[in-house]
Every structure is written in C-alpha cells, then in structure tokens.
Amino acid sequence: MLVKFPKARGKFTNKQMLSELTWLRVGGPAEYFFQPADLDDLMSFMSNLPDNISFFPLGVGSNLLVRDGGIKGVVVRLGRGFNSVEVSNGLVVAGAAALDAFVARTAADHGYDLTFLRTIPGSIGGALKMNAGCYGRYISDYFVSANAVNRSGDLVKLDKTDVSFSYRNTALSADLVIVNVTFAPPSGEVEALHEKMRIQKQKRDNEQPTKEVTAGSTFRNPCAFSSLGQENEDNKFKAWKVIEDAGLRGYQMGAAKMHEKHPNFLTNTGGATASELEELGELVRKKVFKNSGIDLKWEIIRVGDP
Ligand SMILES: Cc1cc2nc3c(=O)[nH]c(=O)nc-3n(C[C@H](O)[C@H](O)[C@H](O)COP(=O)(O)OP(=O)(O)OC[C@H]3O[C@@H](n4cnc5c(N)ncnc54)[C@H](O)[C@@H]3O)c2cc1C
C-alpha cells in the first residue's frame, strides 16, 4: 500500500534502525522516522498524518526495550528545534528534547534546584512521561504544566490533573508528543547546587554500572506509593534486593545479564537481541515470584514487534 505522507521540513526517512537510538542498543527498524524541524513542522505533519498510520514518540531511548521486529508506523523523535531551556520569574521551561542533565545544570546556573535530574540520562519528554525521579525527588514535585501536540496537530496545554502522576508513570495518552515542560523549582545557591550534583554523580557511578549498556532500573521497586506519585521511602522493599535474594545477581543468559554491581540493571554485554534481553527479564520475574511471591513489574517500556 502506498502511503502519502505530509510534506515536512525536518528529516523524514524509512527503515531507521532503532538499535542506533536506544541505550540498550537493540531494536529493529522504525517503519518511518520523523524528526521535525520545529513546532510548526510537527503540528503540520501530525494534522496531515493519515488516520491509519500509528506513531510513537521516542526520547533518547534510555528507558526502552524496542523489540527486534521494530516499530510499525512513524517514530517521532524531537531534536534541535526542541531543546532550549529558559529560566525566568522562578520558572524553568525546558524543551522536550533537552537532556535532563543539561536542564539540571542550566537551572543550577540560575540558582534553581532541579539537581535530581543531573544523573538521569533521558530527555525532558521521557522524564515527564515516566515521572522520572532520583534521590527522593520526582518530576511531579516541580511540574507546573506542559505543552504537547495531539494526533490532530493541535497544541494542547496539560496541567497536573491531565498528567496524573504515579510512581515512575503517568496517565499521559500515547497520542501526545510532549514539546515542552514548565517547572517551578526551589531556589538555591549556585555553587552549592553544582556541588550537590557532583556528589550525586559520584554516588551514582559508585553504585550503578553507568558505563554499561543498560536502560537503568529494569523493574519498579515493589513497594507502596504515595498519591503524589512518589515511592514510599519508609518501605525499603527494593527490586534489586528481591532479585539478589533469588540468586540472580550477575545471572547471565547469552549476552544478556543482570549486572553484578546492581542486579536490577538488565545489561547487554555485547550483541544481545531484544528477545534475549526480554527473555532474561521474564525469567527473573518468574524466579523472583517463586522465591518471594513478589510479582515484579517492568519499569523499562517494551515496544514493537517481536
Ligand atoms: C543508566 C541509567 C540510569 C537511569 N536512572 C534513572 C533514575 O534514576 N530515575 C529514573 O526515573 N529513570 C532512570 N533511568 C531511566 C530513563 O533515563 C528515564 O525513564 C528517562 O526519563 C527516559 O527518558 P528518554 O528520553 O530516554 O525516554 P525514552 O526511553 O525514549 O521513552 C520513554 C517513554 O517516554 C515517552 N516519550 C519520550 N519522549 C516523549 C515525548 N517528547 N512526548 C511523548 N512521549 C515521550 C516514550 O514514548 C516512552 O513511552 C535510567 C536509565 C539509564 C540508562
């Protein structure tokens, strides 16, 4: 079937290998791939996208396991036209393609504390969608509003109720491409904020395999969550611990491994396929359930065709 796609000023291509764009280095092709030049380009493309063509918004792929068969329809990935960060009147407005670390550093330069974002390797679009969090702070803590483009190509404003934050998740529709997010962070002293980030980075490098091919935590921590979308820190039930208790620290199947340094990090040690990684993840879920009765839930988002 010949599909007539809207004209775009940005990059439009087919058969873009997603393994080149995901942290786990796996994933078959995007049937079509679109990187809009700017907001107008995105809105015009979406408004003219044929109804029978699905789309998937991709961030920087740091929380994704894209399956080997790739993703049907159009994968939309925001780039340069969406990575600005503006700070004024106590608000930080970050483009969805801006990297979390850049947003944290820019906010700190202006005396605002979004330091928790410094060591999360994703983009702001992915961080909002996932309600990313670290060191006891979450996107939901500082979120004011977001702008997104819907399937009809309209720009819509989203508030906290629309997003509906939960632990490492939101109720945001898959039909929205987030284009920017506004935060109201607390203020802080510039030097102290940079020092805080330096310490966090060091802590992260000491405790996690940050130089390996992973997508961060594979499973959500199986503990109680507050209504604010935060992990209940009183409950110390951690995914890594129940995986360790099941004897799976460092457990390897082919090139897929649960890392020795942090057993909740599913790792591609070189040349693993998406199906091997997913198979190991499912095996871990089964063994953990058998050992402790805990049903681990994937935090990594699995998408695409096997
Ligand atoms: C080493 C490592 C450490 C990590 N540590 C943490 C951590 O401490 N805390 C934490 O929360 N996460 C952590 N992560 C996971 C990951 O970085 C976060 O979930 C991040 O927010 C994902 O952003 P992304 O841009 O990579 O999104 P992707 O992985 O590309 O996508 C994730 C989801 O967001 C959606 N999405 C992305 N961009 C948009 C957009 N513009 N519009 C609409 N939807 C969009 C995608 O459709 C998908 O559903 C870690 C990952 C790694 C590799």
The per-residue pLDDT for range 134-159, each reduced to its tens digit, is 999 999 999 999 999 999 999 999 99
pLDDT at res. 68: 98
Do 168 and 131 contact (CB within 8 A), yes or no? yes
Check pocket membership of 139 for ligand 1, CB cut-off 6 A: no
Query: Closest ligand 1 atom to the C-alpha of 23?
Result: 53
Instruction: Find the mean pLDDT for residues 44-73.
Output: 97
Residue whose entry in the numeric block shows the structure tokens 């309209």: 154
Check pocket membership of 63 for ligand 1, CB cut-off 6 A: yes
Does residue 115 carry a pLDDT above 70?
Answer: yes
Give the Cα separation of 145 and 127 in Å (integer).
Answer: 13
Does residue 46 carry a pLDDT above 90?
Answer: yes
* CA-closest residue to ligand 1 atom 35: 126
Q: In DSSP terms, which residues pair with 252 in a beta bridge? A: 257
The per-residue pLDDT for range 235-256, each reduced to its tens digit, is 567 899 999 999 999 999 999 9
Query: Closest ligand 1 atom to the C-alpha of 179?
Result: 41
Give the Cα separation of 164 and 160 in Å (integer).
Answer: 6
Instruction: Note if 86 is an active site residue.
Output: no
Check pocket membership of 58 for ligand 1, CB cut-off 6 A: yes
* Local confidence band at 6 (pLDDT 50, 70, 90 cut-offs): confident
pLDDT at res. 4: 83
* Local confidence band at 7 (pLDDT 50, 70, 90 cut-offs): confident
> What are the two backbone dihedrals, phi and then psi, of residue 92, each rounded to the nearest 5 degrees?
-115, 120
pLDDT at res. 279: 98
pLDDT at res. 286: 98
- Both tokens assigned to 200: 């966090």
Check pocket membership of 132 for ligand 1, CB cut-off 6 A: yes
CB atoms within 10 A of CB 95: 25
pLDDT at res. 243: 97
Largest CA distance in the chain: 59
Amino acid at 156: V
Check pocket membership of 126 for ligand 1, CB cut-off 6 A: yes
Å from CA of 166 to ligand 1 middle:
15
Instruction: Note if 278 is an active site residue.
Output: no
Å from CA of 126 to ligand 1 middle:
4
* DSSP of 110-144: TTB--GGGTT--SBHHHHHHHT-EETTEEHHHHEE
* CA-closest residue to ligand 1 atom 36: 126
Residue whose entry in the numeric block shows the structure tokens 């099941």: 246
Domains in the chain (CATH in brackets) are 11-80 (3.30.43.10), 81-192 (3.30.465.10), 211-303 (3.90.78.10)
How large is the angle between the packed helices 190-207 and 100-109, nearest 10 degrees?
150
Indicate which residue of 25, 77, 118, 168 is catalytic.
168
- Both tokens assigned to 133: 């969090």
The per-residue pLDDT for range 162-172, each reduced to its tens digit, is 999 998 999 99
Instruction: Find the mean pLDDT for residues 261-279.
Output: 98
CB-based burial label for 184 (10 Å; 0-12, 13-18, 19+): middle
DSSP conformation class of 266: E
Tell me the pairing of strands 11-17 and 64-66. Answer: unpaired
Would residue 241 be called left, alpha or beta, if left means φ above 0 and alpha means ψ between -120 and 50 degrees? alpha
Radius of gyration of the chain (CA): 19
